[in-house]
Amino acid sequence: MNKMFMFDALREATDEEMSRDQSVFVLGEDVGHYGGSYKVTKDLHAKYGDLRVLDTPIAENSFMGMAIGSAITGLRPIVEGMNMSFLLLAFNQISNNAGMLRYTSGGNFKIPLVIRGPGGVGRQLGAEHSQRLEAYFQSIPGLKIIACSTPYNAKGLLKAAIRDNNPVIFFEHVLLYNLQEEIPNYEYILPLDKAEIVRKGTSVTIVTYSRMRHHVIEAVDSLVKDGYSPEVIDLISLKPIDIETISKSLQKTHKMIIVEECMKTGGIAAEIIAQINDNYFDLLDAPIIRLSSQDIPTPYNGNLEKATVIYPSQIIEAVKKMV
For strand 53-55 and strand 114-119, is the pairing parallel, antiparallel, or unpaired? unpaired
Residue type, 310: I
Q: What would the mean pLDDT of 149-155 be, rounded to a whole number?
A: 97
| Residue 232 reports pLDDT greater than 90 | yes
- Other Cβ atoms less than 10 A from the Cβ of 250: the count is 23
pLDDT digits (tens, 9 = 90+) for 282-308: 999 999 999 999 999 999 999 999 999
Give the model's confidence band at 133: pLDDT under 50 very low, under 70 low, under 90 confident, else very high: very high
Q: What would the mean pLDDT of 142-147 be, rounded to a whole number?
A: 97
Sign of CA dihedral 176, 178, 183, 185: positive
pLDDT of residue 167: 97
Min mean pLDDT across 119-133, 239-253, 269-283, 290-304 is at 119-133
Give the model's confidence band at 271: pLDDT under 50 very low, under 70 low, under 90 confident, else very high: very high
Q: End-to-end CA distance of the chain: give it in Å, rounded.
A: 39
The mean pLDDT of the chain is: 95
pLDDT of residue 191: 97
Query: Which of the residues 45, 129, 173, 215 is marked catalytic?
Result: 129
Give the model's confidence band at 211: pLDDT under 50 very low, under 70 low, under 90 confident, else very high: very high
pLDDT digits (tens, 9 = 90+) for 249-265: 999 999 999 999 999 99
| Residue 128 reports pLDDT greater than 90 | no
pLDDT of residue 1: 87
Share of the chain above pLDDT 70, in %: 100
pLDDT of residue 177: 96
As annotated, the residues of the chain forming the CATH 3.40.50.920 domain(s) are 196-322
| Residue 122 reports pLDDT greater than 90 | no
| Residue 169 reports pLDDT greater than 90 | yes
- Report DSSP letters for 133-186, one per residue: -HHHHHT-TT-EEEE--SHHHHHHHHHHHHH-SS-EEEEEETTSTT-EEEE-SS
- The DSSP bridge partners found for residue 233 are 197, 207
Q: What would the mean pLDDT of 95-100 be, rounded to a whole number?
A: 95
pLDDT of residue 127: 87
Q: Which residues of 133-164 are buried (b: 16+ CB within 10 A; e: fewer)?
A: bbbbbbebebbbbbbbbbbbbbbbbbbbbbbb
Cα–Cα dist 93/99, whole Å: 9
pLDDT of residue 180: 96
Query: Which of the residues 60, 134, 231, 271 is marked catalytic?
Result: 60
From the list 110, 121, 102, 192, the residue with the least C-alpha distance to 156 is: 192
CATH T-level assignment (fold) for domain 196-322: Rossmann fold (3.40.50)
The torsion angles phi and psi of 106, rounded to 5 degrees, stand at 65, 30
Q: Which residues of 210-249 are buried (b: 16+ CB within 10 A; e: fewer)?
A: bbbbbbbbebbeebeeeebbbbbbbbbbbbebbbebbebb
Is 137 in contact with 193 (CB distance < 8 Å)? no
Looking at 2.160.10.10, 3.40.190.170, 3.40.50.970, 3.90.1150.10, the CATH number of the domain 2-183 comes to: 3.40.50.970
From the list 185, 104, 181, the residue with the least C-alpha distance to 149 is: 181
- The DSSP bridge partners found for residue 208 are 234
Sort residue 91 into left (φ over 0), alpha (ψ -120 to 50) or beta.
Answer: alpha
Is 146 in contact with 170 (CB distance < 8 Å)? yes
Q: What would the mean pLDDT of 131-143 be, rounded to a whole number?
A: 92
129 counts as catalytic: yes
Q: What would the mean pLDDT of 152-166 be, rounded to a whole number?
A: 98
Cα–Cα dist 259/154, whole Å: 20
Cα–Cα dist 98/82, whole Å: 19
As annotated, the residues of the chain forming the CATH 3.40.50.970 domain(s) are 2-183
Give the model's confidence band at 131: pLDDT under 50 very low, under 70 low, under 90 confident, else very high: confident
pLDDT of residue 126: 87
Cα–Cα dist 54/50, whole Å: 5
| Residue 123 reports pLDDT greater than 90 | no
305 counts as catalytic: no
pLDDT digits (tens, 9 = 90+) for 6-57: 999 999 999 999 999 999 999 999 999 999 999 999 999 999 999 999 999 9
Cα–Cα dist 150/55, whole Å: 27
The torsion angles phi and psi of 85, rounded to 5 degrees, stand at -60, -35
Whole-angstrom Cα Rg for the chain:
20
Share of the chain above pLDDT 90, in %: 94
